Structure 1
Amino acid sequence: MARRSSMLGYVMWLAGAVAVSAAHAQSVTEWQTQQAAAEAKADRIMAEADRHKGLLTQYMTMREGYASDDSRAFRMIFGQYIGWYLSFLGDYPLATQSFSIAQPPRPDDRPSPLESGYTARPALEAIPELASNYQIVLLNEAHNIAMTRSLTVALLSRLYAQGFRYFAAETLSQSDTQLQTRGYPTVDSGFYTQEPVYAEMVRTALKLGYKVVAYEANSDAISPDQREAEQARHLYERVFKQDPHARLVINAGYEHIVKSGIYLGGQSMAEHLYKLTGASMLAIDQTTMYPHPSRQDDHPYYTAVMKQLHPDAPIVFVDAKGKPWSQRPAYDVTVFFPPEKLERGRPTWLTLWGLRRPYLVSADGCDGHYACLVEARYSNECPDAVPADRMLLDLQPMVVSISGIKAYSSTQGVPSGYLYLRPGSYRLSFVVAGDKVQERTTIVVPQTP
């Protein structure tokens, strides 16, 4: 369970918050009892899926489990689980639909950047400039919203140019001792690295020359604060103990990177790390200002910024003195992602803000067998490497529904689709029921369109 423990405590905390709003219909105790049962059932289904080796079969098991129970408590918990797998398969819009955290105004929100003298700047330009004065850059993500890790991939080369040489990712497994020499993640490198954009983040760091560090706590049988402290201790021992002046980029989930305040009854990994190192930290929040499936769930600041500025790439706000804006005091910078645009059912942010381009692939290789998983691996990587991109083509609808809102798979009935790939050579595979490879072929993505 360690591979996914990073989010469960946060999910249950959110569930408790939802219980307050549900109290008018049922007691908080009743809601918590339903959630405990839902979590136990979700864990059983996921354990059953894990007994299968292939990702497609795992997903189909999860999909059947999702359809078996439409209760609100189960869909809230299991929607998170199946959202992970939908992102692994490349159905990013449905992954977002399956589990979405509303962003209402909070008491500690700072005034809107539109009303307090800040100017919008491209995040890819501003963040490296801001990072030049810090020893540690902390970037967070929403685990089932791969858009929130897309900017990090593009930032890595610019942060490397600023002198950062270490990259740490929460999901990485310490048992994959060959990751650094191999140069790319495999199915055994971690949990969230099964999602292609996360894998591309790790692969990019390795290719640039970063030393990549796994820092997850070793045990689940500890309190949230003990887990945060253990993560920080691993980072200290594996980076700063040997290299006190090291410059480190960290990718973590949600509030592991807050620099102040109470986190799950204790302190965050970032707070514990500061106590050990005293290093200057730039904390960048990417988990609030992104487009939600329901516009009503967007933060009012997000709605206003999109309406006024219409950005087509991630932006941040900086004042005349170069100080960045953040929504909350616990962070230094807040990233605003543009509205999602789909082409053939897939989001265009998969270009990773200029690193990749769309490559049209026909479903002919599926030979009429659906669901069909299309995967593109770099030609110089092994068969168990995490693909550079993958997409699921399916004629049967996958439906997600929470609180009566229904959404269907974005690639349902699509006879072809775009894979998003860097220029280069790839092995293309078409995987069908039983994780059988129906066809393999080689493609080359040219340097110019």
Structure 2
Amino acid sequence: MPKKLPVLFYCLFVVGAAFAQESPGLIQLQKHIAQHSGKMVDSTVTRFSNRYKKRINYLMPLYIGLQNGKRIRHFNTDKSYYDNLSDYSSFIGDYPSALYYTTKSYETLDMEAAATIKPFIDSLKQLDIQHVPAKKYILDRAAHVQVTMINEAHSKPLHRAFTISLLQDMYKLGYRYLAMEALNNTPSATADTILNVNTGFFTNEPVCAEMVRVAKEIGYTVYAYEDTLAYKHSGSVRDSIQAANIYQLIQQNPSAKILVHAGYGHISEEQIVDYVPMAMYFKKISGINPLTVNQTDMTEGSDFAYGRSFYEAYMKAFPVTVPSVAVYKNKPVDLLASSEYDISIIHPPTNYKNKRPDWYSLDGMRKELAVKPTEKSLFLVQAYYYKEYNKLEKDYLIPADQTYTSAENGYYYLYLQPGKYKIVMRDIEYKVLSEGDMEMK
């Protein structure tokens, strides 16, 4: 008979169910697809894609996943299916749905493991733990190293927003390269001056694209280090090539300071079973000990079932309101046995303004722009940089921001930097309804 779990355990899952829900926009899309079964996409498709005739269609992967879900899960895994839906929900600016599908991919939490959460957090309360602002803590450490590596969960643009907040200050510390796993490591992709469908896969997500734009504007050299044959290689081989590509920068410029933005465990400094991560390879071949910063564990939904429950309990015990690092006697606290990283960031739960995460402001870099719905069948609102729009056809471009979520007053709120934009309104089948100019003061 299973052990009786503390009341806190049950509360965790009630809380989790409350915040991790599909958005009204996604539910509307599901209903439309059900009513037009077979019309939206070929029912035999079992592979997610946001491409249509080599152009970007941000709703296409949602059509595929929602219409052909049973077939996709039959030929793949539930985790792969939900991870894809999570990624593509984030691309369209639907963060609630991205969180919902992320957590659906987790295994069921072991009851005995869940029962350890409350006692551990109670023990932390007995210590004099301090929570210091993550940005300042990281900058203080980054000033004394040559290479800083920070990771992301691919379906959480929040993590990209935090990295963007570091860029200006790290440039002042002498960092001149932003090395990104998200970039396609091909001559055609890296030569393009305007972000487009071929720049990379995750750069199709607007906040990731903003990271590239902001870094270039500051003066960084944005560097692609991905293994060009990653699809053929094992995880360890891929990571060894990534590490070698980053080390190549050091060999060319021994004093170069590099900020590396990678996914998940690539920045781990310890071997994970038989997988040797990129950061561990890099340390071995370069002799440089990188500062490694983990964002994927102590964040909404976390990256695994135990982490999610622990995070929710921790937020109740220590309700931080800004990205923070837990320290004890001036050393980071290893909250989730993440000893393979130097620092773990604790991200507070998202605050929503007009039904959109307020971190889309990129630490105040962008302001809200209210877009009045002028089309009867409006579903999706996109803002493209005017200077990019006039140089390349829109469906090859990456929007500055986009959303299919309207606020209570019926307006759609976009987060944009000052400048001129082309506002594109589309219906639920991605058809362009209207285009217009708008300037953000």
- Structure 1: distance between partners of 2:224 and 2:125: 39
1:17 corresponds to which residue? Answer: none
Cα distance, 1:66–1:415 mapped onto 2, change above 3 Å: farther
2:3 corresponds to which residue? Answer: none
Residues 49 and 60, structure 2, Cα contact 8 Å, conserved in 1: no
SS state of the match for residue 255, structure 1? helix
Cα distance, 1:368–1:254 mapped onto 2, change above 3 Å: same
Matches within 5 A, 1:193-272: 193-219=203-229, 220-237=231-248, 239-262=249-272, 265-272=274-281
> Would you say 1:390 and 2:398 are equivalent positions?
no
Give the TM-score of the pair, scaled to structure 2. 0.77
- Structure 1: distance between partners of 2:322 and 2:158: 11
Cα distance, 1:139–1:115 mapped onto 2, change above 3 Å: farther
1:76 corresponds to which residue? Answer: 79
Q: Which has the higher contact order (CA 8 A, sep 6+)?
A: 1
Give the TM-score of the pair, scaled to structure 1. 0.75
1:125 CA displacement = 1.8
Count of residue pairs the alignment pairs up: 380
1:315 corresponds to which residue? Answer: 324
- Structure 1: distance between partners of 2:260 and 2:361: 22
1:412 CA displacement = 10
- Structure 2: distance between partners of 1:221 and 1:42: 26
1:329 corresponds to which residue? Answer: 339
- Structure 1: distance between partners of 2:187 and 2:384: 20
1:244 CA displacement = 1.5
Cα distance, 1:415–1:99 mapped onto 2, change above 3 Å: same
1:118 corresponds to which residue? Answer: 129
2:91 corresponds to which residue? Answer: 88
Residues 378 and 388, structure 1, Cα contact 8 Å, conserved in 2: yes
1:10 corresponds to which residue? Answer: none
SS state of the match for residue 363, structure 1? coil
Cα distance, 1:319–1:130 mapped onto 2, change above 3 Å: farther
1:292 CA displacement = 2.3
Cα distance, 1:275–1:435 mapped onto 2, change above 3 Å: same
Cα distance, 1:312–1:418 mapped onto 2, change above 3 Å: farther
What amino acid sits opposite 1:390 in the alignment? Q
2:387 corresponds to which residue? Answer: 380
1:293 CA displacement = 9.4
What amino acid sits opposite 1:317 in the alignment? A
> Would you say 1:355 and 2:350 are equivalent positions?
no
User: Which consecutive unaligned segments of at least 5 residues does structure 2 have?
Assistant: 1-42
What amino acid sits opposite 2:387 in the alignment? N
Higher mean alpha-carbon deviation, 437-446 vs 122-131, is at 437-446
Percent identity reads 28
Residues 167 and 210, structure 1, Cα contact 8 Å, conserved in 2: yes
Matches within 5 A, 1:98-247: 98-100=101-103, 115-175=126-186, 177=188, 179=190, 182=193, 184-219=194-229, 220-237=231-248, 239-247=249-257
- Structure 1: distance between partners of 2:240 and 2:304: 37
1:429 corresponds to which residue? Answer: 424
1:62 CA displacement = 2.0
Q: CA RMSD for the aligned pairs?
A: 3.3
